[in-house]
Amino acid sequence: MSNIIFFGPPGAGKGTQAKIISEYLNISHLSTGDILRKKLLDKDNLAIELKKVMSSGNLVSDNILNTIVSSRLQNEKSSGFILDGYPRTLKQSEFLNNFLSNISYSIDFIFNIQIDFETLKHRILVRSSEEDREDDNINVIETRYNEYLNSTQKVSDFYKDKFNTIFHEIDGSLQIAEITKKIKKILKKSWKTAKFLNISSWLHIWLSCIHPHSFFLDFIMARISGVNIPTNKKVNIALTYIFGIGNKIANDICKDASIDKTKRVSELNEQEINKIRDLIDKDYSVEGDLRRKISLDIKRLNDLGCYRGLRHRKKLPVRGQRTHTNARTRKGKAVAIAGKKKVTKG
């Protein structure tokens, strides 16, 4: 069972992906947009009010959406669910967190699909011609996008800060199949990790009962920033297992957290581990965030067509290294250098 939220501007493809993943996991897909559009078919006063709001591109009131979603979640909570288009405001996110807490449920995955406005505008206009939706035209698109930036973007940022380990950003400009592949990969990786941690926790308990100082306990890991760091190493060494943390940053973290760097990770208490987690989340970009930043920086240099971008494109060293006789500073297959001749003895 998985509970998932999809974020992204209108037309980013979150509805399409939510539908695919709901079928893949066999869980319910709760699209507030679809629910509201069905409601428009009614002839009551609420339907008339909704039609005015949606045709203008404005957001439906928090009270209406909270009532609709909470009533649906009451029925769907046993099998898991996907929320698409909700929450859109900070008040809605606060309501959702309290509601899930009351029914003893939590969010397992959050996917934020990002896309630039021009691509988004083109997609929505194509969709409008195919599906004949009243809320898809130029004026409404701009209004909805501005509403997203002013309200929903703050909600996704809130979840990113609060639930960093389950928050995943996806490039919405990719093909539908590629986006689906990325999402499924994240889901499978998380399930494998959860399975490993569950086995590890039971193994830890069992070994502790047999022998509290068993050397096998050294293989049980502590989890920080989504990475299992070894418990048998000193703190400043173990932290370097996290991508983006080297010796200097590891020592700085130990100093800021007032932790003796010569301590073993297994000797840290829960409070000290939480202090390290908070420091890393607050002050450093590591693991997935850092990899995405590096990837985007390389893509930007490629698009600019500058010298460094061309070197990246050719998979050659970027920072002035000698390549006439040595270009093996990059991973992968050896790259042939243009104009380089092999000297043969006569």
Residue 102: CB atoms within 10 Å: 9
Q: Are residues 105 and 132 in the same domain?
A: yes
Q: pTM for the whole thing?
A: 0.52
In a domain, 262, yes or no: yes
Per residue in 191-220, pLDDT (tens digit) is 665 554 455 555 555 555 555 444 444 444
Q: Are residues 19 and 129 in the same domain?
A: yes
Closest CA to 231 of 223, 290, 137: 223
Q: Are residues 19 and 161 in the same domain?
A: yes
In a domain, 217, yes or no: yes
pLDDT of the residue at 33: 73
In a domain, 139, yes or no: yes
* 221-224 and 227-230 strand pairing: antiparallel
Q: Are residues 150 and 208 in the same domain?
A: no
Q: Are residues 162 and 29 in the same domain?
A: yes
Residue 301 to residue 171: CA distance in whole angstroms: 18
Per residue in 271-300, pLDDT (tens digit) is 888 889 889 988 898 888 888 888 889 889
Q: Are residues 81 and 165 in the same domain?
A: yes
Q: HSE on the CB side for 85, CA within 13 Å?
A: 23
Range of the domain at 83: 3-173
> Per-residue confidence at 318, pLDDT binned at 50, 70, 90?
confident
Q: Are residues 200 and 251 in the same domain?
A: yes
Residue 87: CB atoms within 10 Å: 26
Residue 86 to residues 60, 116, 314: CA-CA distances in angstroms? 11, 21, 43
Comparing 49-53, 80-84, 155-159, which segment has the lowest mean pLDDT? 49-53
* 28-31 and 3-7 strand pairing: unpaired
Q: Is 286 helix (H, G, I), strand (E, B) or coil?
A: coil
State residue 224 phi and psi, 5-degree precision: -135, 130
Number of domains forming the structure of the chain: 2
Q: Are residues 22 and 154 in the same domain?
A: yes
Of 142, 173, 204, which one is at a domain's C-terminal end?
173
Per residue in 122-148, pLDDT (tens digit) is 777 776 666 665 555 667 777 777 777
In a domain, 335, yes or no: no
Measured CA angle at 69 (ends 67, 70), to 5 deg: 65
* CATH number of residue 90's parent domain: 3.40.50.300
In a domain, 295, yes or no: no
- 338 pLDDT above the threshold of 80: no
In a domain, 318, yes or no: no
Residue 296 to residue 312: CA distance in whole angstroms: 12
